[in-house]
Chain A
Amino acid sequence: MDISKDLIAASATPLILSILTEGESYGYAIIKRVTALSGGTLQWTDGMLYPILHRLESQGLIESEVRTSDTGRKRKYYRIKQDGSTAIAVYQAQWQAVYATLNKVWEAKLCLD
């Protein structure tokens, strides 16, 4: 099952913020985490992640730091900030509202069937 581009784009921000609550991370690892969490159903175009990260950073929801990893490679690590955690709560409420609404319709339809 492929998830539509629009839905991927809409869910990207809450997903990235939520992954960052698990601890600081960098672009490549975030992509891997999304694939693992979704069981491969959320297929991101990897390059699209970075503009979103940069936007979140300029909005003050996350912060970044360039460090050299154990393998000697330079990496930009992203960390969630207080405003980011607050934003997640809002996203959660929104997504749950959408999910609950859809579910109500689907359940009603099931009863009719």
Chain B
Amino acid sequence: MFRLEDAIENWKLQLNQHQTMTPSDIEELQIHLLEEIDTLMAAGLNQEEAFIVASRRIGSPGEISCEFAKINTAAIWKNRFFWMIIGILMLQIFSACGNFLGRGGALIGCQLVGWNALNTGIISAVIQIAVLLCLLVGFYIAAVHFSIFRKIPKKTLIGIIIAVSALSFLINHLAGIGFNVMIGRFYSAEQLGQFSLGCNYSAMGLSVLWPVVWLLLLLWLLPGKTRSA
């Protein structure tokens, strides 16, 4: 059963997919589509036929978006820049979480289990990376598969993210001071050396791992796979 409202919604989604058109561009085209549908229906076509002919006359979404991309460059880059900022802030939040959980978790956990300072250092770094990677993957799934960011208005989104980012930054720094006090009180000078050695061993491994991870990400996001604007 054909429903005009659904067909139009679907058509608008297709136009929006290329992200080169502003909401008012799409609205103007929608008005055009409706006028054409009215004219065609007055000439005897049914709703479905009228929709098919009218949307064809307007042109394919790919073609139209390409034309709009030529004139909407400022708006397109503003939109891209917005998401870049969101990405940077999210990365900062995730690193703060990783740092906090890594140092705190390892210090407290290993103290309870009774592991030595060298292992604590290694585990601390491993937890940091594990948390960061898990959050990045979770973020990707939430954004792509559940499209949570499309559902939140942009202003609310940036407000929440800035607040969380500031809060995580503050907590991480205050906790960092706490952890340093803990290390200073519980560890002897030799243990402190062992701990920092452990951290550095992991850092060595990670300094190889990170560039590889970013490189893979970059290759995966390479243009060509995505739209060419």
Contacts and interface: CB of A to CB of B under 8 A. Distances in A.
Interface stretch (B61-69, B97-105, B160-168, B188-196): B61-69
A73 B31 contact: yes
A59 to B, nearest CB: 10
Contacts, number: 51
Interface residues of A, number: 16
B59 A73 contact: no
Contact of B34 (A45, A47, A54, A73): A73
B151 to A, nearest CB: 26
A27 interface: yes
Interface in B1-46: 25, 27-29, 31-32, 34-36
B35 A51 contact: no
The DSSP consensus for interface residues of chain A is helix
Interface residues of B, number: 18
B211 to A, nearest CB: 42
Contacts of B32: 27-28, 31, 46-47, 50
A58 interface: yes
Contacts of A46: 32, 36, 57-59
Contact of A48 (B34, B35, B36, B67): B67
B71 interface: yes
B27 to A, nearest CB: 8
A27 B32 CA distance: 7
Contact of B28 (A27, A45, A48): A27
A27 B30 CA distance: 11
A74 interface: yes
Interface of B: 25, 27-29, 31-32, 34-36, 57-59, 63-64, 67-68, 70-71
Interface of A: 27-28, 31, 45-48, 50-51, 54-55, 58, 73-76
